[in-house]
Amino acid sequence: MPDLFQPILSVKNLSVQFPTLSGVVTAVKNISFDVGREKVGIIGESGSGKSTTGRAIMRLQPANARLVADELRFEKVDLLAASEAEMRAIRGRRISMILQDPKYSLNPVMTVGEQISETVILHERIGRREARQRTLAMLERVNIRDPERVFDLYPHEVSGGMGQRIMISMMLISAPSLIIADEPTSALDVTVRQQVLTILDDLIVERDIGLIFISHDLNLVKSFCDRVIIMYAGRIVETLDASCLEAAKHPYTRGLLEALPSLDHPKDRLQVLRRDASWAEA
Amino acid sequence: MTMISVSNLAVSFSSGRAVKHVVKGISFNVNPGETFGLVGESGCGKSTVLGALAGRVKNWTGAFEIDGEAIVEKRSRQQLAKQQMVFQDPFGSLHPRHTVGRTLLEPLEIHGHDQRQERVEAVLRDVGLPARFRHRFPHQLSGGQRQRVAIARALILKPRILLLDEPTSALDVSIQAEILNLLKDLRERENLTYILVSHDMAVVAHLCNRVAVMQDGVFVEIATREQLLAGKVAHKYTQTLLDGSRGYVPTRKGR
């Protein structure tokens, strides 16, 4: 019986450093957060360290980067101490990652069906026939009408929305307990985005798993996630319930909200964010 | 008097025997100083309309007038200078190995304008960049600064019309606010007419007086800013786009 209050992921004082010719650049500085069976959004502008955080959890940082943390625990596994072989067993099976653009993240010379089956063949050592059945069932689950036909298509033959649904089925076929989605819908049109998010939302709830949703879109995170983490210059400046985002206190979050053109509160001029050096400090 | 008057514009592309009709006979007028929005999803033909107005897309049929002159296939230099484009991605639209100064000089050379240095300095000032930036390369600029350079390049020929193709969608929210404010200021100061292509209804409603909603090569509706803000739109598709820009709409009840 799993403990309901036990977080799936626990991060304490995580830093990611990159040594460069002109000294060490710290992309992520001492961040701490937990993820339970919920949808947690990470908001930040380009360069705020949100994607680096997502990759650090899967230990997918570049080879020269240094990962420092007091704790980086996924379920019962200490991710800092895990060997590369242990990490390979976790990646794609127990923590999955959905990236922004299926055009670039799917293998262009492999049919989508093979790519999805590969996940379960590698991780669960099942036969091709069984893997095919699982794949077809999964494709159907993400509302692909004709899974038999789609199985044999190559990535360039599918639309962006279908590509992202294929991504989702690939990431969820092995029953992971944490999904990291890095800007999963930024390349999609709004109507397609709505369909893809509905599928993702349903699957997260149905399987009772955790989601880290990395995005720069405040309206989207506010309406999709349960909790929101706001990052600035590698630090977490504020963590809020998504429903309370409009009532944010930190001047950076306020600045972002004011800078956004809005249909509900139209304003003649947009407020320009005035950055304060102290936000990047502790 | 109208600044842009388009009637029955159609564009089709053909490869071999297959013909793809991208824009299927659209008509609209834009008044001087007005900002006219074009919204729709990828592939609906909105950028192609801009391309035809700018003279980039050549195989169009129909008729249009810009600043009172009927446009024929071959345009004069003056006619081409009258409308200038700003593209979506400032990383892709500036030559990586040309300095800002050289990028800005190029249109002046092509159109044979004099007082080039003075014009470059003046246009950089107009878009809020210091004059010393003319010595920089694009990779030495931030995304927002690059988009300012792209706007400066469009303005340097003193056009009457700016054709803006998703000018802020590659930028962060705080930078988007700066560029949108700049576009508003320039519109007032230089009395410019804009056509703005965007997929973000909030951006469109912020800047535009009227918006055409495009789907599959045709206008399904032309709505005013007031109608958008009040949510009083006639077509279901417009409503879908409005809902979309507010975020995710949960379809399931409870958790």
Number of domains in chain A: 1
User: Is B241 near chain A, with CB under 8 Å?
Assistant: yes
Instruction: Determine the longest span between alpha carbons in chain B, in angstroms.
Output: 68
Residue B248 to residue A224, Cβ atoms within 8 A: yes
Q: For testing the chain B interface, which of A103, A262, A270, A274 should be mutated: the one with the most B CBs within 10 Å?
A: A270
- pLDDT band at residue A3, thresholds of 50, 70 and 90? low
Q: DSSP H helical segments within chain A, as ranges?
A: 50-57, 84-90, 102-105, 112-124, 128-141, 147-151, 160-172, 190-207, 218-224, 251-259
Residue B206 touches partner A, C-beta closer than 8 Å: yes
In angstroms, the CA B210 to CA B36 distance is 5
Selection from A60, A163, A162 nearest residue A108 by Cα? A163
* Residue among B180, B181, B241 whose CB faces A190 most closely: B241
Structural domain includes residue A152: yes
The verdict on a CB contact (< 8 Å) between B176 and A259 is yes
Domains of chain B, CATH where assigned: 4-246 (3.40.50.300)
| Closest residue by Cα to residue B170 from A216, A43, A27 | A216
Band the pLDDT of A1: cuts 50, 70, 90.
very low
User: Quick check: is A224 in a domain?
Assistant: no
Which chain A residues have a beta carbon less than 8 Å from that of B242?
263
| Cβ B33 vs Cβ B187: under 8 Å | yes
Residue B249: list chain A partners with CB under 8 A.
194, 223
pLDDT (average), residues B216-243? 93
Q: Is residue A104 part of a domain?
A: yes
Distance in angstroms (rounded) separating the CA atoms of residues B170 and A51: 17
Q: What are the phi and psi torsion angles at A82 (to 5°)?
A: -65, 140
Least Cα separation, residue A253 to chain B (angstroms): 11
Q: Taking 50 as the threshold, does the pLDDT of residue B16 lie above it?
A: yes
Give me the pLDDT at residue B253, please.
46
Q: pLDDT digit string (tens) for A25-75?
A: 999 999 999 999 999 999 998 889 999 999 999 999 988 999 999 999 999
Identify the weakest region by mean pLDDT among A113-127, B48-62, B239-253: B239-253
Q: Is A19 within the bounds of a domain?
A: no
A108 found inside a domain: yes
> Do the beta carbons of residue A17 and residue A26 sit within 8 Å?
yes
- The reported pLDDT for the residue numbered A233 is 92
**Model-level pTM?**
0.88
Per CB-CB distance under 8 Å, the chain B contacts of A45 are 172-174
Average pLDDT, chain B: 92
Residues on chain B touching A193 (C-beta within 8 angstroms): 244, 248
Task: Kindly report, residue by residue over B165-191, the tens digit of the pLDDT.
Answer: 999 988 889 899 999 999 999 999 999
Residue A3's Cβ-count burial label (10 Å; 0-12, 13-18, 19+) is: exposed
Task: Report pLDDT for A242.
Answer: 94
Domain that holds residue A164: 95-173
**Chain A touched by B250 (CB under 8 Å):** yes
Task: Identify the pLDDT of residue B252.
Answer: 56
Residue B255 has pLDDT above 50, yes or no: no
Question: How large is the angle between the packed helices B143-155 and B173-190, nearest 10 degrees?
Answer: 20
Strands B83-86 and B161-165: parallel
Q: Within a domain: residue A121?
A: yes
| Average pLDDT value for chain A | 91
pLDDT of residue A4: 56
Tens-digit pLDDT profile for residues A83-98: 999 999 999 899 999 9
| Min Cα separation B113/chain A (Å) | 35
Chain A residue nearest residue B172, CA to CA: A45
Of A4-8, A173-177, B2-6, B99-103, the one with minimum mean pLDDT is A4-8
Digit-coded pLDDT (tens) for B137-162: 999 999 899 999 999 999 999 999 99
What ipTM was assigned to the predicted interfaces of this complex? 0.83
- B97 near A CB under 8 A: no
Residue A236, φ and ψ in degrees, nearest 5: -85, 115
- Confirm or reject contact between B244 and chain A (CB < 8 A): yes
Residues of A in contact with B209 (CB under 8 A): none
Q: For residue B70, give the nearest of B1, B2, B5 by alpha carbon.
A: B5
Instruction: Convert the pLDDT of each residue in B185-203 to its tens digit.
Output: 999 999 999 999 998 899 9
**Under an 8 Å CB criterion, which residues of A touch B?**
45-46, 160, 189-194, 197-198, 201-202, 205, 216-224, 255-256, 259-264, 266, 269-273
A263–B244 CB contact, under 8 Å: no
- pLDDT at position A282, please? 58
Q: Is residue A132 part of a domain?
A: yes
Residue A103 lies in a domain: yes
